[in-house]
Amino acid sequence: MGRVADEVDVVVIGMGPGGEDVAARLANAGLSVVGVESRLVGGECPYYACIPTKIMLRAAEALAEARRVPELAGSATVRADWSPVATRIRDEATTGWNDEAAVRRFESTGGRLVRGVGRITAPGEVTVGEQVLRAKRAIVLNPGTEPAIPPIEGLAHAPFWTNRDAVAVEQVPESLVVLGGGPVGLEFAQVFARFGSEVTVVEAQSQLLPMSEPEASEVITERLRAEGVRVLVGSAVRQVSHSGRFQVSTDDEQLEAESLLVATGRRTDLRALGVAAVGLDDEARTIAVDERMRATDGVWAIGDVTGRGAFTHTSVYQSRIAAADILGEAGAPADYRAMPSVTFTDPEVATVGLTEAQAVSEHERIRTAIAKLPETPRGFIHKVGNEGLVKLVADTERGVLVGATAVGPSGGEMIGALAVAVHAEVPIARLSEMIFAYPTFHRAIQPALDELSTP
């Protein structure tokens, strides 16, 4: 007997932050919506990524601040204990990695959840196991990414961690090798080091956070080293073995550790998603979308899979645009010029728009300026832990900022003002007339602007 299709307006494959948001928006607008999720409604961010890691970092920051007391305010005895962190993540943040509350939230919009792996099997058709769904108006793809595991000899069969294991640990390992010096690697490296683990970060590129400004990378590298983290850059791992402990062979040396965290980026699997059934390239890493998130007729894609910045704010930003387009509403098209990012290490490394290297390849006349936080009044007051900087990237032809980096104890907050400047293309001359509250960290923007305006 042939399978009977279940007809709805919209099928959303993958209920990550963007998928959950777009599904709820469309259901709230009165469409019949099915959300298909193979793991947990909410996706990576609340259960394995943003939220648990930021809980860890908050705890690690408290330890670091307490350790700064001797330089500022007497003495403090610090005894790190991981159990409040593990308990908070398990009980308060993820409810034991249970998505019942998120499912209820979605179902309260009138949406319907189908658990399982969704696959496009024909234009307008999604199959989940034995169930066939016909999407009359739209299929929205929000499959996110999986941790990418590099093809290193011995690694595949070793009991390494990815972010999904690292957020659930009940005990801090006595030693840890972190493979990859991107945002995931560095956030975990600092957390575990501050909780007493002996941490080594191995990064293949010549600097940590390779996509960031070299000056920002320098600041975070120095801080991690000062906190006892071994940082190996430009170093390739050749082999991994495990017999009780991990042996990690790099080009130059043999490392040994209790645990190994693989944080070498993310991967997608478009073939498994069946995108070839609607004429899309299933060997590509990302799904190309236009400024309304359309991938092809009747198919929209949002989130990490679009390759426009793997952040929760990107996914949710795109979901608003896709929802409006599906509903036939007018709205601004996607504009990524002022995309912000924050790596929540201490100091935080925050960016918006283009780095100097990116800007030079896109614009004719680029000028940059840097102000170092320790040289500002706020930096002087803050004293220990004041490392950081503001770097501005200006298009001098148009007289506007096209990018900025803010590194510092509140780099993620400092970048807010600079994001407004890049987003709204506020003329540099107008920015220079602003009053910056004294003595704040963000006031460091002023000397950098002055430098830009100096002939």
Q: What is the contact surface with ligand NAD in residues (CB under 6 A)?
A: 150, 179-185, 187, 202-205, 210, 237, 263-266, 310-311, 341-344
Indicate which of ligand FAD, ligand NAD, none lies near residue 343 (CB less than 5 to 8 Å, by partner kind). Answer: ligand NAD
Q: Which does 443 bind (CB under 5 to 8 A by kind): ligand FAD, ligand NAD, none?
A: none
Contacts made by residues 419-428, CB under 8 angstroms, sequence distance 24+: 419/338, 419/340, 419/352, 422/337, 422/338, 422/352, 422/353, 423/337, 423/338, 425/398, 425/400, 426/400, 426/401, 427/399, 427/400, 428/394, 428/399, 428/400, 428/401, 428/452, 428/453
303 contacts ligand FAD (rule: CB under 6 A): yes
Choices 237-245, 288-296, 298-306, 436-444 (CB under 6 A): range interacting with ligand FAD: 298-306
* List 118, 347, 379, 408, residue binding ligand FAD (CB under 6 A): 118
Q: Residue 142 binds what, of ligand FAD, ligand NAD, none (CB under 5 to 8 Å, by partner type)?
A: ligand FAD
CB of 49 to ligand FAD, least distance (A): 3
144 binds, among ligand NAD, ligand FAD, none (CB under 5 to 8 A by kind): ligand FAD
Nearer to ligand NAD among residue 214 and residue 374 (C-beta): 214
The footprint of ligand FAD on residues 119-138 (CB under 6 A) is none
* Contact criterion met (CB below 8 Å) for 128 and 143: no
Residue (206 or 432) nearer to ligand NAD, CB = 206
Contact between 184 and ligand FAD by CB under 6 A: the answer reads yes
180 in a known ligand binding site = yes
The one of ligand NAD, ligand FAD, none whose footprint includes residue 117, by CB under 5 to 8 A per kind, is ligand FAD
Contact at 8 Å (CB) between 96 and 49? Answer: no
Binding of residue 142 to ligand FAD (CB under 6 A)? yes
Ligand-binding annotation for 187, yes or no, is: yes
Q: Is residue 105 within the footprint of ligand FAD (CB under 6 A)?
A: no
> Which among ligand NAD, ligand FAD, none contacts residue 36 (Cβ within 5 to 8 A by kind)?
ligand FAD
CA dist., res. 421 & res. 431, Å (int): 8
Q: Is 183 annotated as a binding residue?
A: yes
Total binding residues for ligand FAD by CB under 6 A? Answer: 36
- Of 24, 26, 27, 39, the one binding ligand FAD (CB under 6 A) is 39
User: Residue 155: which of ligand FAD, ligand NAD, none does it interact with, CB under 5 to 8 A by kind?
Assistant: none
Residues forming the annotated binding site?
A: 54, 118, 180-187, 203, 265, 304
Residues forming the annotated binding site for NAD(+)?
A: 180-187, 203, 265
Q: Which residues in this chain contact ligand FAD in the complex, by CB under 6 A?
A: 13-18, 36-40, 43-45, 49-50, 53-54, 117-118, 142-145, 163, 184, 273, 303-305, 310-313, 315, 344
